[in-house]
Amino acid sequence: MLLMPLVLMAQKKEIVYKKLANSTCECINTKEVTDINLGICIFAAINQLSEKERRIVNVDIDDKMASIEKIAESVGLEMASICPDVFIKIAAENNPEAGITADDSDLDLFYTGTFESMTTAEFNTIFIIDDKNVRQEFIWLFTFEGDSLFVKNKIVKGDKLEIHYRQQDFFDPKQNKYRIYNEITSIKLL
């Protein structure tokens, strides 16, 4: 029974973060996607919050900059699901050497190699070795064509695979930076 207030507070925070993310996404879609415009949109979203909502997410009206720093990660995580195209553009702007743009997400990249292993942590990671003995890793986030081969244990170490994937730029909290992941879009047993 003592945990109930903590759970309710966490749910309230999530609701406010989603509201901030929705407002920020709506705002940034009317502007060029830059860090500065994103900050302006977050400020505008904070200004739309009620006093009660500001208290829930610990916004200090006298020091909004410090408040943004505290809540930006939570708002960003919500934005990733609400307006992923904006999220990708911001990530690309912050990591230009990665060469990822919103248009690149439509590319059909593929890789052929031998299945080595699959690990499970926050999500499944599949390791493939190519003919030159180079090891590549691919993440399994969503349903894709051929995923039943893994679900039904039809793929074993040594099987030849063709993996189609897209590159996604996600924040890696362990490294405290954005990192490119190869997200599986389909798999074919060769």
DSSP letter string, the chain: -TTHHHHHHHHHHHHHHHHHHHHHHHHHTTS---HHHHHHHHHHHHHTS-HHHHHHTT--TT-HHHHHHHHHHHHHHHHHHH-HHHHHHHHHHH-GGG---GGGGG--EEEEEEEEEEEESSSEEEEEE-TT--EEEEEE-S--BTHHHHHTT---TT-EEEEEEEEEEEEETTTTEEEEEEEEEEEEE-
Q: Which of 67-71, 146-150, 178-182 is the least confident region?
A: 67-71
* Residue bearing the bigger pLDDT, 36 or 7: 36
pLDDT digits (tens, 9 = 90+) for 121-156: 778 899 999 888 889 999 998 888 998 998 888 999
0.75 cut: is pTM over it? no
